[in-house]
Amino acid sequence: QSTWGHLIAHSRQRMSSPFHFVHSRVIDPVLRLKKRQIVEQVLFFGLIVANALVLWKTMCLFTGSESPIVVVLSGSMRPGIDRGDLLFLTMRSTPFRAGDIPVYSLPGRDVPIVHRVLEVHETAAGVADILTKGDNNTVNDLGLYNRDQWWLQRQHVIGRAQAFAKWIGMVTVLMNEHAEAKYALGAALLVYVLVNREQ
């Protein structure tokens, strides 16, 4: 009987250990914070966010792109570029050429598209009409463009890929496919900052 009692007590201890960890490492430190400390923690977290925004705006200024870093969300550019790859963009004034890899955004579409330039046609007015296609797709992007749109123009392009890093953006892919992951990650970062600053 004592053996069974020991096993039951051990099982209860193992089951309670995650809750004990959450209380001791997360809830209790937050509850111990005084009002002034809470204000300091919130300001510290806001400073982190502000620094990230300044860094982003600085990158936009130097690259000329409104979005200098993007994460590839689909496999339409395989095998060269895959889901989760991080692309570094610039927006130069040089003409587009077949083989360039622009990232373009269309009105009414939330997610930019990363595809390769298939054809470029200069109009009489000097405007470049661009046709794109994914390396892993069998047809061009006409079916992706908006109704009555046959070409892309420069105003649709937010940048051209200059370099990429493999799979670094997989966290973004997971958050895009599972909305609850965004809130979980944000909450985890906030708790981490609070707990570690308190200590």
The residue with tokens 């895009």 is 176
What lies within 8 Å, CB to CB, of 10 at 6+ separation is none
**Active site (annotated) includes residue 85:** no
Going by C-alpha positions, the residue among 71, 63, 98 that lies closest to residue 164 is 71
Angle at 127 between CA 125 and CA 129, to 5 degrees: 130
**Active site (annotated) includes residue 115:** yes
> Residue 120: phi, psi to the nearest 5?
-135, 130
Amino acid at 36: R
Given the residues 65, 85, 115, 156, select the one marked as catalytic: 115
Given the residues 76, 82, 105, 156, select the one marked as catalytic: 76
* Helix and strand element counts for the chain (H, E): 5, 7
Given the residues 65, 85, 141, 156, select the one marked as catalytic: 141
| E-assigned strand segments in 40-194 | 69-71, 86-90, 102-104, 113-114, 116-122, 128-133, 157-165
**Active site (annotated) includes residue 28:** no
Angle, nearest 10°, between helix axes 179-198 and 170-177?
Answer: 120
Distance between CA atoms of 138 and 133, rounded to whole angstroms?
Answer: 8
Catalytic residues: 76, 115, 141
